[in-house]
């Protein structure tokens, strides 16, 4: 059947009374096209594809597909002025929570100048994953998060078998309240070094024996001060797995 198309032009969206059903209104200023549907509603039927208004993208057709609100992927992402997009509106490609920007493996690169141990939690709290693995807070090496911080374990009661936790602490201050045997640990890291301080209690005369993984010069074992309240220092270095070398004790600090 024959159809007559009536067009009108102006600036901005027309009001409902400006159009009859099926008429077209052309907004040349903003390059938009409107019409009026059978329900009396003014509808936008074409838009300038080079303009994204409002500073947000909500179900906008990009690259021929309709992504979820606020989601960008490699297939449909375009370059948008960074002042118009906030990080909270983005989701990582790997599906992590909004606010994270990551590559396909979920790795987030952070400048070392602003990196703190609070930022590294293996993804359990903030979704931050470095190198795809987690470890105790502390030493940060190239691409790897390894040993614990250079902290000191101060233990005021030690008697019997004592197992030092080298993954939690680097240095140890042990007050001897009975005879002690340093049991073989499983937490040492090759190259780790530090010191062990032995303090005799008010009774004194406490001895220290060592497990097979602790080595002393000439296999002589440890001979420490025996007087009450004396303090000795023994340095150590981990030479290999199962080999903790103990240096010559420095005795009777006062």
Q: What are the pLDDT digits (tens) for 24-58?
A: 888 888 878 888 888 888 888 865 555 444 444 44
Quote the number of domains for the chain: 3
SS3 26: strand
The tokens for 226 are 């025996």
In a domain, 68, yes or no: no
Q: Do 196 and 225 share a structural domain?
A: yes
Domain boundary among 127, 146, 165: 146
- Report whether 209 contacts 182 (CB < 8 A): yes
Average pLDDT of span 165-186: 96
pLDDT in tens, 196-210: 999 999 999 999 999
Q: What is the dihedral of CA 143, 146, 149, 151, to 10 degrees?
A: -160
Domain range for 25? 7-46
Q: Is residue 67 part of a domain?
A: no
CA–CA dist 7, 40 (Å, integer): 17
| 75 in a structural domain | no
* Cα(68)–Cα(89) distance, integer angstroms: 11
> Could you tell me if residue 98 is inside a domain?
yes
Judged against a pLDDT cut of 90, whether residue 132 lies above it is answered with no
Identify whether residues 125 and 189 lie together within a single domain: no
Q: What's the whole-model pTM score?
A: 0.46
Q: Report if residue 244 sits inside a domain.
A: yes
Which of the two residues, 186 and 143, has the higher pLDDT score? Answer: 186
């Amino acid at each position: 059947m024959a159809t007559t198309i009536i067009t009108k032009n102006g600036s901005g969206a027309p009001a409902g009374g400006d159009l009859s059903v099926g008429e077209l209104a052309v907004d040349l200023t903003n390059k938009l096209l409107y019409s009026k549907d059978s329900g009396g509603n003014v509808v936008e039927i074409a838009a300038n594809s080079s303009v994204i208004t409002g500073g947000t993208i909500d179900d906008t057709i990009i690259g021929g597909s309709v992504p979820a609100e606020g989601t960008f992927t490699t297939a449909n992402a375009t370059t948008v002025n960074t002042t118009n997009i906030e990080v909270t509106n983005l989701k990582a490609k790997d599906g992590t929570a909004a606010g994270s920007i990551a590559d396909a493996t979920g790795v987030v690169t952070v400048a070392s100048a602003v990196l703190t141990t609070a930022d590294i939690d293996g993804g359990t709290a903030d979704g931050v994953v470095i190198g795809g693995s987690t470890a105790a807070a502390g030493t940060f090496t190239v691409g790897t998060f390894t040993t614990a911080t250079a902290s000191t374990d101060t233990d005021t009661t030690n008697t019997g078998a004592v197992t030092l936790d080298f993954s939690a602490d680097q240095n140890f201050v042990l007050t001897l309240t009975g005879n002690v045997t340093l049991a073989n640990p499983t937490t040492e890291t090759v190259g780790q070094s530090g010191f062990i301080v032995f303090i005799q209690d008010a009774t004194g005369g406490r001895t220290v024996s060592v497990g097979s993984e602790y080595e002393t010069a000439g296999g002589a074992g440890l001979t420490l001060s025996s007087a009450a309240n004396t303090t000795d220092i023994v340095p150590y270095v981990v030479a290999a797995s199962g080999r903790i070398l103990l240096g010559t004790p420095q005795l009777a600090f006062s």
